[in-house]
Structure 1
Amino acid sequence: MGLVGACGISVLCNLMRVYNFIQTCSDSDNETESKKSSSSPGNLLRGNWTTALQFWLLTVLLSLVGSRVSSLIVLEFTLRAVSTWLTAGLKANGRGLDLLLIQCQFTLGCGLTCTLGFLHQGAPHSSFSLFLAAALSWALASVSHSLWSHVARLYPLHSRARYCGKCITLLASGHTILASLQRVVVLVFAIATVASTATVYDHFLSQKDALKFWTPLTLCYSMLVVYIQEDQQRKTVTEALLHTVVLRLGALLVLMLIVGNWSDVLHVLITFVGEAVSLLPSQDLLKAVLQEEEDTSLKYEQISSHKTRKQTMETSSDGR
């Protein structure tokens, strides 16, 4: 099941890189030196080694994390995602929503493994079904990695020459990749939330008087989520990301020390490593989010300046 989760993370990251690269190419007709160096064969070869190492590390780590901790991680992230969505909707600030796709990598893997484990409980042919799921996931991950390699090497040339079917399709509909990813991730987390809720109830809430103990813990954690969201707006992208990971996993570690067993504590520590393996190679995605935020702010300032000049000119003409 860890292989399925790692494949899901790989598909997410590859498609996000494809989207960011297409957006960068569409913003400028002339290819910069940084793009040339990032798409050179040597850099791509080193990237392939890094990607392969990250993939197999995530496979091992996701296989080690138990269903109890995976379920809690999914529920915690879902609560924080809903809070981020409400905050972004009220404040009209989309940075938190963009960061969620980057932050959800390891949690997405936990959600896939937790859902598969829940669906295959008591299944007569669970091993064969898991093999089919792993094969399908491997195929999807291979296709997404092949697409990203093709785009990184040849998209700037093919998008101008217009003789490659893949690049022509991406040129026409590549701007919809991020929205489609968001919908798919929301669907995956919706299903994983149901499976995680059932798992948490079986392992933690089925005992007598468990709700009396979990209710104040849930309320305290909800307040922590709100604090994280408010504090995140005052930090840079990287600082906010690292601060959020440390706070939420630290809170989960304390929770497992109170209500869990030693294996749960060990699984939370493994989750720390898994988050690091997922996020550290994603600096390019973080830079893309930061660049998009700066471009949006610049456009907003230009529009505001244009409106101010227009109003000043109209006021001057009326005065005459």
Structure 2
Amino acid sequence: MFSLGSWLPALPGLAWGWALVDTLLQGLVGACAVSVLCSLLKVYLYIQCLNDPERQVEKETIRTQRRVLEPLHVVVLTGVLALVGSRVAALVVLEFSLRAVSTVLSLGKGAHSSQLYLLCQYSLGCGVSCGLSFLLEGAPHGTCNLVLAAGLAGLLATYARRLARHVCTLYELHSRARYCGICILLLAAGHGIPRLLRNALAVTFVVADLAAVVLINRDFLSTAEAVRFWTPLTICYTLLVIYMQEEPRQSAGGRPVYQTVLIRMGGLFILLLTVGRWTDVLHVLVSLLGELWCLLHAGVMLEACRRQ
């Protein structure tokens, strides 16, 4: 292993340049993770709609999604995640984790919500970015590690997109003929995709939550300063969780998920106006754009989940 920066002279501008490269690579890994999540959910929802005679219109809608949107989604999300600061990304991760726990508890034991997987897209990207920032902080070969991580993430995202394309094009034929190994496997075990995603997301957000707490606390010089930040943050998040407790039931009745995003980001915006920095406020606005972009990209699947 070697560090790319070690081959170049130590100039002030180079340190900033390598930091920018690291940020872009972290954003790329997070965007690829979101792409894998969306592709696997697309496979699951397509199979569910195919097996239900009353949901054939939804099946065709999922199948005819434009393929060019997938690479565009990764590119845009990479830019958004690179622009968002680590502090706001950490706050987004913590907020979603609390909301996810509340939603899972309200659904009851053994139940799951496919819609929750789609709503966590941007938070997942922030979580992966925070986790990488924390795990590679101070690493001598951090850039090289990020390049390897980005390559692996890109490979997984590419194969996941190919799987979704294969399923949407040939699964209906192959599942009847029983001569495609991939389609036979999905026919037998496709119902386990939500469980796979749930376990993977649980591990990811546990690591991301730990990283988020560390990344936020490192900016405080004293305990009193940390208390002044965490106290209003805890109150704000508690109120948000209480308000969002009715979200699954109301969303099932047709409540737009965009309203939920505006309320969440609005609360975070007001909080950071009080206890944050001006850069944090700008990053919240960027996060709002990222959340809306993810929801727009997953609009067809969100509608399928709502009717599930």
TM range (shorter): 0.7 to 0.9
> Does the 8 Å CA contact 1:232/1:240 hold for their aligned counterparts?
no
One-letter code aligned to 2:45: N
C-alpha change, 1:233 and 1:23, in structure 2 (3 Å) is closer
Over 3 Å counting, the alpha-carbon distance change for 1:139 and 1:201 in structure 2 is same
Find the aligned partners of 2:280 and 2:295 in 1 and give their Cα distance: 22
What is the alpha-carbon distance in structure 2 between the residues aligned to residue 126 and residue 112 of structure 1? Answer: 15
Check 1:170–1:123 CA distance in 2 against 1; reply closer, same or farther (3 A cut).
same
Change (3 A) 1:206 1:4: farther
Deviation at 1:34, TM superposition (A): 6.1
Higher Rg:
1
Matched, 1:5 2:30: yes
- Structure 1 gaps, min length 5: 293-320
Residue 5 (structure 2) aligns with: none
Which residue type is aligned with residue 138 of structure 1? G
Q: Residue 298 of structure 1 corresponds to which residue in structure 2?
A: none
Contact 1:74 1:196 in 2 (8 A): yes
- Segments of 5+ residues of structure 2 without an aligned counterpart are 1-25
Alignment map for 1:207-246 (pairs within 5 Å): 207-212=223-228, 214-230=230-246, 233-236=249-252, 239-246=255-262
SS at match of 1:124: coil
Residue 252 of structure 2 is aligned to residue 251 of structure 1: no
- Equivalent of 2:83 in 58, 64, 69: 64
2:89 alignment partner AA: S
Are residues 1:131 and 2:147 paired? yes
C-alpha distance 124-142 of structure 1, shift in aligned 2 (>3 A): same
Question: Larger % of helix: which?
Answer: 1
Alignment of 1:1-320 (within 5 A): 1-28=26-53, 32=56, 35=59, 39=63, 43=64, 47-89=66-108, 97-204=113-220, 206-212=222-228, 214-230=230-246, 233-236=249-252, 239-292=255-308
Aligned residues, how many?
283
- Compared CA separation, residues 35 and 199, structure 1 to 2 (3 A): closer
Rounded to whole Å, the distance in 1 between the matches of 2:41 and 2:259 is: 23
Rounded Cα–Cα distance in structure 2 between residues aligned with 1:151 and 1:54 = 20
Aligned 8 A contact 1:252 1:268 in 2: yes
Identity in percent: 45
In structure 2, the partner of 1:295 is: none
> Residue by residue, what CA displacement relative to the aligned partner does 1:15-34 show, whole Å, maximum 9, x if unpaired?
00101111222234x99466
Alpha-carbon shift at residue 206 of structure 1 (Å): 4.3
Matched to 2:34, the amino acid is: I
Measure how far apart 1:283 and its partner are: 1.7
Q: Hey, what's the Cα distance between the residues in 1 that align with 2:251 and 2:176?
A: 39
The answer to whether the Cα contact below 8 Å between 1:68 and 1:203 also exists between their aligned partners in 2 is no
SS of 1:203's partner is: coil
**3-state SS of paired residue (1:48):** coil
Which deviates more from structure 2 when the two are superposed, residues 280-289 or residues 234-243?
Answer: 234-243
The answer to whether the 8 Å contact 1:6/1:109 transfers is yes
Deviations 1:150-180 (A, max 9, x none): 0000000000011111111111111101111
Q: Kindly tell me: are residues 244 and 205 of structure 1, through their superposed partners in 2, closer, same or farther at Cα, counting changes over 3 Å?
A: farther
Tell me by how many angstroms 1:10 deviates: 0.3
Deviations 1:129-150 (A, max 9, x none): 0000000000000010000000
Partner of 1:314: none
On the 8 A contact 1:77/1:107 being kept in 2, the answer is yes
2:58–2:304 Cα contact (<8 Å) kept: no
Q: Tell me the secondary structure at the aligned position of residue 20 of structure 1.
A: helix
Q: 1:138 to 1:252 in 2, by over 3 A?
A: same
Q: What are the superposed Cα offsets for residues 78-107 of structure 1, whole Å, 9 maximum, x if unpaired? A: 1111111222228x9x57x33221110000
Shift of the 2–238 alpha-carbon distance from structure 1 to 2, 3 Å rule, reads: farther
How large is the Cα RMSD of the aligned pairs? Answer: 2.3
